[in-house]
Structure 1
Amino acid sequence: MNDENSGFAGGNNVALNYISEKKISDYIVLLNNDTIVSNDFINGLLDKFNESDDTGFVGINHYYYDNRNTLQTVGGGKVDLVHGEAMAITSKGTVHDFDFITGSCIFMSLNILLYVGLMSEDFFMYWEDVDWSTIVREHGYKLRVSDYGYIFHKEGASIKSISRIYYHTRNRIFYMKRHTTGLKYYKFIIYIILYVLKESVTNITKNSNYSKTLLKGLKDGLLKN
């Protein structure tokens, strides 16, 4: 048990560490507790994983819990390294080379976990799935999505918007520090500083809390980690 709130990665790492030490299963699926799964979703994940030897993570189609005919994400996305944005793919068949698998459902083998290690707990919430997926790709594995089976996801039901703003701002900087270098990194830093300053000045009178949160996220992103 883990009584301390150590964030998304910390909570999952408790279970992942136990599984890796005890080797109680050949396969692992991380699944958010705010999801409902279809009966066939495990078969879909397993079949997709075993299609190729170079598969690292597999995701699955997410539909909105409150609007079950609307696709939330196919289960993965792309990273914009110019602006430091992780963008979920919301149309089936449009992308086959994913940069990350959405953290609300990640399927992997025990061997992959033992090879790439646990999630970084530096992020607390947001971007840890993107960071972990990037590490998997850096080890030479592919990220794939199964269209067989699905989950319904109550996205962000318990997370206040102010926390979203702070962690998204801070963690996109953390991510770019880890996975970009040289001119690409410095161009992003210039962009994010100008973006946050513009947003903060624009909103300072009508929403000072938003502006302060953006600035704190920027400061912590630049100075920490």
Structure 2
Amino acid sequence: MRLICYSFLAWPLLACSLQDPNLEELRRLCEKDAGVNIYRSVDADGYYDGEKKGGSLEVLVRSDFEFIEFCDENPVLKTVLQEPGCARYTRVPADSGRCDPKVQHILDNSAAERYAAFRKESCVELELLDKPEARYFYETDLKTWSAEDKSQRFTRIHVRISDTETTELMGEYISYSLVPTSSYGVSKSCYHLSDEYSSFAAAKLVERVLMQSEN
């Protein structure tokens, strides 16, 4: 902490305040390039999710997308991918005969209301892929570094959606956070500093770029 003092001529007082240099650095980083930018929107049937891996099933269930692709180089749940690789979840009619039994087991064992509604009319076909084939890619880049005093660390998250056919960046979300290195203290992000910034959930990047609604 730095002690900053101000002298006011109108009053014989000295006003002092504590200024956290790490918080000021967070503010500087946010002002540099944080925010959400939408460059182009489309009505997509699905996309490649480079972040959620096996969790992409939940994305399919709670959205109107027809398919979600993902890759997992270290699958923990062997119920879906038996070994590292890529796959596509596709929404199909429940009576289509194309329901993957491993995925169906996951759907049947979820008590969540959205899963129950999904099971009434739909199931999921699982197709293994050599590599992602979707036109639209959702990817996340996370960088972390220590503050100068080592008491906290900074993180930068850059989420982007791109068109692989044109290499065009369609939308992006950038934010920074200041995270304590110990169990004490509270993390702060750009949206804690100003209403000018939003959390990732509030930014609704996928919905605004790929024009699908998630509940």
Q: TM-score, normalised by structure 1?
A: 0.22
With a CA cutoff of 8 Å and minimum separation of 6, indicate the structure with the bigger relative contact order.
1
Structure showing greater radius of gyration is: 2
Question: As a proportion of its length, which structure holds more helix?
Answer: 1
Q: TM-score, normalised by structure 2?
A: 0.23
